[in-house]
Structure 1
Amino acid sequence: MPLLTACGGSDSGKREGATSGKAADKLLPTYVASTIAKPDLPSKNGSSAGYTSKVDLATLATSVPKKLGTGAPLKVMSPFWGTPPKPGCAYYTALDATVGTKITWQNQDGNTYGEKLGAVLASSSIPDMVVVPGWELVGKISNAVTAKFMDLGPYLAGDKVKKYPNLAAIPSDSWRMSIFGGALRGIPMPAAPASFITPYYRKDIFDKRGYTVPKSADEFLSWAKEATSAKAKVWACGDMRWSSAGIFGVLPSGTLGWNIEDDGKLTNRIEHPEYLESLEWVRKLFAAGVVHPDDKANTGDPGQRFTAGQVLVYNGNGADWWGKTVEQAQSNPDFQIEGMDYFGADGGNPTLYAAQPAGIWSMIRKGASKETVENALAAANFAAAPYGTKERMFVEYGVEGTHYTVKDGVPVKNERGIQEVNSAWALLAAPAPFTAHPDFPEIARKQVEWQQRQGAFMKKTSTYGMNIVEPTRYATLSSQFEQLEIDFVRGHKKLSDVQQAISTWKSSGGDKLRDWYKQLLDKNGSGN
């Protein structure tokens, strides 16, 4: 169906709505799957593919046989967490020489990236290529994306993408999520639908103390009280709001929050009784004193408290499973991190909702020259190299001898590699979702098998696979709820405050936004 524009005012035009169905199919690149490396654990129930066998580094395949860049300068702005590599470092220089690019990186603090992104998009000076995370697509930023970034269809739609084989191997669902305002504007980092937030627990401490992993909300609270000892500086958990959504079957906010229920009604996540039940359960954890005081104060890093043994359960993304294992391997060899399987609040099966098939994009500014666009696409094509290729190895480990050495067939970064091969190159694009850790293959197996188990209870929402730009008049409608949730679970706000906020949301535009979504879904079809 054509882009829905009937619900907007004079500022809307092609900037709001969604494109799906046959209209979207015409905009998509032709899908040509990569056949380079067969996974040991094929994708199942929406999981990523898993690689647990050692890769023969001497026989890595080539996915970019010729240099596609011309060496023209390219400015790239991206979020960054930690200390970025220095300009002109060996990693940047070697990649530029291989890809044919000359990138000036404008790395910005990932924690405050939304502010910087908003300011840059509101200005007249936009870098050639900008990384746009889905969680920043709120308020005016989502509309600015359509106004400020170019349509990549002339370069990538249909068979045109075959010039860039690694981009052609990105699944169509991820490309469909890259349509903004009726045009293909984003180059996606694909995500596995079963890549849920993980409730991690300290398996080594559980085993040592004889704890059984909880299997219901009540069991978790009982265990948490038993496990907490403020005197010993040990608390059961951090703020469990993210995991609580999975336990109580609440739509994550990252799914746009809308779904057509079994009774045919289109409802928002905050209207479901499970939404309040989920928050009230987390409030009970805080009230029982089982949450670390720094989590209550909302300061510091929950992951550090977890590795220090001060917190036994915390929420994290999939990367933490390997990241924490590597971090603790030398200093704390007994350390074991495991993902807790989701349970329904009552102890039955959980209801989990599929993550969107893409959540981060790189985009190219409108008005960029043909050479700039082609250099940007050359960089993205290199970054999207699949597992088992020289290019993937280069992006993830750098140059052998300079950034890593090979021990027992496994690449190991040296100090320079740790400092430099930690860059935003990986955010320009990515291959079909996969998990591989040559140094800890069992962690890769556990991650994928965890996804497969949770994925068995996964549903797709009505807006799955759609990139929907809401009208600007609703831009701030839901903005208060994140802080309200934080305050409520800590006892700073009352249940009546949340209920009043929901009521205000409905009367201030929520009901009208529902009508807008209903018309959009009627015209475009449901994502599930």
Structure 2
Amino acid sequence: MTRRELLRGLSALAVVGAAGTACGGPEPKQASGTIRASELPSFADPGIVKPDLKSAYPGGMNAYFRYPPNPAAAFKDKPLGGGTVKGLTYTFDPVAPGLAENPLWQKVNEQIGGDLSITYAPSADYAQRFATTIASDDLPDLVTIYGQVQQLPGLLKSKFTDLSEHLAGDAIQAYPNLAGLATDSWRETMLDGSIWGIPIARPPVSGTMFARKDLLDKQGLSLQPTTFAEFKDLLTALTDKRGSRWACGDPGGVLGMITAALGVPSAWIEKDGAFTANLELEQYEAALEDTRALVAAEVFHPDGMTATNNQRNDWFTQGRTPLVIGGFVGWSKYEMWGAAVQGFQLATILPFSYDGTTKPVHGRGAVIQAMTAIKKSDPSRVKELLRLLDWLATPFGSAEYVLRNYGVENVTYTLKGTDPIVNASGQTLRLVPFKYLSDGTQVIYDPGLQRVAQARFDYQEAALEIIDRDPTLGLYSETEAAKNAQLSAKLTDARTEILRGQKPVSTWKEAVDTWRKDGGDTIRDEYEAAYAKASGSR
């Protein structure tokens, strides 16, 4: 699973606490209530086809078993009136063939009525590309803001357009597809009461513990533990060092499962306006103790501490580690990788109670991956660019959605029934990162694999039921943006030394004290001040 940084920066707490396991939940629990409702875009579902399975939770993904036949265009008029729109964004995929060699991209330009020119960089290199572009003062029309950005409020005010008058409240009805983005995703685009970008919205569920059900069944092992003791027994039973098999390759991920079992949220906890970091809790240290004992019992792959996510995924597919922590949205990739493995069956493990008395939580994920800002422009140009971003957000079931995601029929995909199945050429041609400039509400859809869609939906709904609330939603901490990497590295080093047995668990308190002195307390103060200010303006 790729741990994608949020606009407000990954919390140092999430790095060492939840190990990426996170999700979302019902509106009454998930919303921090720190932004005035009148300032947020009014939500309106732009769905043009009825889902087979409808989520009961705001922000949850609806599921579809097949693509509707003969999809119609959602746009009557082309969003652009000619000319070129330049965009800067990132990608997690290989580079796509350029415009001259890409019939999918050419067809998109034809449909939008102009030329969309996208410059993009790998996500790992995007911060440097972004900084260079900002320093050049030659901004593209559209710029995706991804990851940690220092002095973000000042940057937005000096370089980009305040979109509030175009999008706040009912004004967003002029852009019906953008209006379909979850309300909480818009909270993360707001600073000082203004809307500064279009959210690249994501479903609230993120990290998931996947299991090789076929391997568990072979040993007659129960899939879903109900307590930590049962979970520990499962890890022990799955480990066979002589057979070069270990239960899991991710001690940090298992630490997150244990904190979840103890009912510890994945980052900050707010009570009466006071913020507490999860790593300051006694339960966190107890979970660290338990994880250290599991490391000593050698249930983890020997290289698990330093392995990449790709290595852990390979171990899982090969059966060397029957359990893996992965991104919820990557579910379909595990199914794809496992298709070549005889007998492969994928399943999941939900958070469980620690001892039968604690109430487990499912950590909360990012409601946005990034946001796309519009450089300072005259109002007519801003409206044109918003129409383009609205076109890029057309929903599942539309002809535009098929074009952006699958391409051109009989060129990049063929129909199997009504489902578009991408061919080998289309797999590379469709990697143009349109969706990292703007994208519609994500859905659960696995062409030709109804059982997978059903399983993904069932897990999502169960996870959303036990999500913890994120009090920092819509808040900004300059110290976190500036010091998160440094603080995270120190905490991760301290955790690793403890898990390896190089230092006792009692030294965790020292690491937390250092974190507080080096910036943690300042981050807390900034969040509390921002929370109080926003709450007072309601």
Q: TM-score, normalised by structure 1?
A: 0.85
Do structure 1's residue 67 and structure 2's residue 75 form an aligned pair?
Answer: no
Corresponding residue to 2:208 among 189, 198, 215: 198
User: What is residue 109 of structure 1 aligned with on the other side?
Assistant: 122
Closer/same/farther in 2, CA of residues 327 and 408 from structure 1, 3 Å limit: farther
Closer/same/farther in 2, CA of residues 524 and 99 from structure 1, 3 Å limit: same
Whole-angstrom CA distance in 2 between matches of 1:372 and 1:20? 34
Tell whether the 8 Å contact from 1:321 to 1:338 is kept in structure 2 after alignment.
no
CA-to-partner distance for each residue in 1:422-481, whole Å, 9 max, x for gaps?
331122233334212222122111111111112222232333x42424357963573332
Whole-angstrom CA distance in 2 between matches of 1:122 and 1:251? 38
Tell whether the 8 Å contact from 2:32 to 2:469 is kept in structure 1 after alignment.
no
Whole-angstrom CA distance in 1 between matches of 2:34 and 2:509? 40
CA-to-partner distance for each residue in 1:22-81, whole Å, 9 max, x for gaps?
9644443333322412222211245623333323322x2432221111332233222222
User: What is residue 361 of structure 2 aligned with on the other side?
Assistant: 351
**What letter corresponds to residue 220 of structure 1 in structure 2?**
F
**What letter corresponds to residue 29 of structure 1 in structure 2?**
P
Do structure 1's residue 228 and structure 2's residue 250 form an aligned pair?
Answer: no
Whole-angstrom CA distance in 1 between matches of 2:39 and 2:471? 21
Corresponding residue to 2:184 among 173, 178, 196: 173
Secondary structure of residue in 1 paired with 2:457? helix
Closer/same/farther in 2, CA of residues 455 and 159 from structure 1, 3 Å limit: closer
Tell whether the 8 Å contact from 1:42 to 1:50 is kept in structure 2 after alignment.
yes
Secondary structure of residue in 2 paired with 1:105? strand
Closer/same/farther in 2, CA of residues 338 and 66 from structure 1, 3 Å limit: same
Do structure 1's residue 124 and structure 2's residue 137 form an aligned pair?
Answer: yes
CA-to-partner distance for each residue in 1:375-430, whole Å, 9 max, x for gaps?
54233212211121111122221111111001233211100111111331122233
User: What is residue 500 of structure 1 aligned with on the other side?
Assistant: 510
CA-to-partner distance for each residue in 1:237-293, whole Å, 9 max, x for gaps?
0214244243343332xxxx33224x8753112211222233333333332222123
Corresponding residue to 1:439 among 434, 448, 456: 448
Do structure 1's residue 97 and structure 2's residue 110 form an aligned pair?
Answer: yes
Tell whether the 8 Å contact from 1:190 to 1:432 is kept in structure 2 after alignment.
yes
Cα shift at 1:138 = 5.6
Whole-angstrom CA distance in 1 between matches of 2:278 and 2:33? 25
**What letter corresponds to residue 314 of structure 1 in structure 2?**
V
**What letter corresponds to residue 451 of structure 2 in structure 1?**
E
Tell whether the 8 Å contact from 1:72 to 1:102 is kept in structure 2 after alignment.
yes
CA-to-partner distance for each residue in 1:77-112, whole Å, 9 max, x for gaps?
222223121211112111121122422222212234
Closer/same/farther in 2, CA of residues 226 and 172 from structure 1, 3 Å limit: closer
CA-to-partner distance for each residue in 1:269-324, whole Å, 9 max, x for gaps?
22112222333333333322221233233345311221111111111111221112
Tell whether the 8 Å contact from 2:270 to 2:471 is kept in structure 1 after alignment.
yes
Do structure 1's residue 468 and structure 2's residue 476 form an aligned pair?
Answer: yes
User: What is residue 10 of structure 1 aligned with on the other side?
Assistant: none
Whole-angstrom CA distance in 2 between matches of 1:239 and 1:138? 29
Could you tell which deviates more after superposition, 172-181 or 398-407?
172-181
Do structure 1's residue 37 and structure 2's residue 49 form an aligned pair?
Answer: yes
Tell whether the 8 Å contact from 1:403 to 1:413 is kept in structure 2 after alignment.
yes
CA-to-partner distance for each residue in 1:161-195, whole Å, 9 max, x for gaps?
333221122233322221134321121122333x1
Closer/same/farther in 2, CA of residues 102 and 275 from structure 1, 3 Å limit: farther
Could you tell which deviates more after superposition, 495-504 or 118-127?
118-127
Which segments of 5 or more consecutive residues in structure 2 lack a partner in the other structure?
A: 1-30
Tell whether the 8 Å contact from 2:35 to 2:187 is kept in structure 1 after alignment.
no
Do structure 1's residue 247 and structure 2's residue 264 form an aligned pair?
Answer: no
CA-to-partner distance for each residue in 1:180-236, whole Å, 9 max, x for gaps?
34321121122333x141001111111122121233333222222221223322211
**What letter corresponds to residue 209 of structure 1 in structure 2?**
Q
**What letter corresponds to residue 287 of structure 2 in structure 1?**
S
Whole-angstrom CA distance in 2 between matches of 1:490 and 1:285? 10
Do structure 1's residue 521 and structure 2's residue 531 form an aligned pair?
Answer: yes
Secondary structure of residue in 2 paired with 1:259? strand
Secondary structure of residue in 1 paired with 2:200? strand
Q: What is the number of residues matched between the two proteins?
A: 498
User: What is residue 409 of structure 1 aligned with on the other side?
Assistant: 418
Secondary structure of residue in 2 paired with 1:235? coil
Counterparts of 1:285-300 in structure 2, within 5 Å, are 285-299=294-308, 300=310
User: What is residue 193 of structure 2 aligned with on the other side?
Assistant: 182
Whole-angstrom CA distance in 1 between matches of 2:536 and 2:433? 34
Closer/same/farther in 2, CA of residues 271 and 368 from structure 1, 3 Å limit: same
Corresponding residue to 2:222 among 212, 216, 225: 212
Closer/same/farther in 2, CA of residues 373 and 295 from structure 1, 3 Å limit: farther
Whole-angstrom CA distance in 1 between matches of 2:503 and 2:290? 15
User: What is residue 49 of structure 1 aligned with on the other side?
Assistant: 61
Whole-angstrom CA distance in 1 between matches of 2:40 and 2:466? 30
Tell whether the 8 Å contact from 1:166 to 1:381 is kept in structure 2 after alignment.
yes
User: What is residue 11 of structure 1 aligned with on the other side?
Assistant: none
Whole-angstrom CA distance in 2 between matches of 1:304 and 1:327? 9
Whole-angstrom CA distance in 2 between matches of 1:260 and 1:434? 31
Whole-angstrom CA distance in 2 between matches of 1:85 and 1:64? 26
Tell whether the 8 Å contact from 2:249 to 2:304 is kept in structure 1 after alignment.
yes
Do structure 1's residue 150 and structure 2's residue 161 form an aligned pair?
Answer: yes
Whole-angstrom CA distance in 2 between matches of 1:182 and 1:189? 19
Tell whether the 8 Å contact from 1:76 to 1:128 is kept in structure 2 after alignment.
yes
CA-to-partner distance for each residue in 1:306-357, whole Å, 9 max, x for gaps?
111111111111122111212332x225222112111123245412344353
Tell whether the 8 Å contact from 2:34 to 2:531 is kept in structure 1 after alignment.
no
Whole-angstrom CA distance in 1 between matches of 2:429 and 2:268? 41
Secondary structure of residue in 2 paired with 1:189? strand
Cα shift at 1:372 = 5.5
Tell whether the 8 Å contact from 2:206 to 2:329 is kept in structure 1 after alignment.
no
Secondary structure of residue in 2 paired with 1:293? coil
Secondary structure of residue in 2 paired with 1:175? helix
Do structure 1's residue 164 and structure 2's residue 168 form an aligned pair?
Answer: no
Tell whether the 8 Å contact from 2:262 to 2:353 is kept in structure 1 after alignment.
yes
Could you tell which deviates more after superposition, 373-382 or 333-342?
373-382
User: What is residue 81 of structure 1 aligned with on the other side?
Assistant: 92
Whole-angstrom CA distance in 2 between matches of 1:177 and 1:292? 37
Corresponding residue to 2:460 among 442, 451, 455: 451
Tell whether the 8 Å contact from 1:286 to 1:490 is kept in structure 2 after alignment.
yes
Closer/same/farther in 2, CA of residues 160 and 351 from structure 1, 3 Å limit: closer
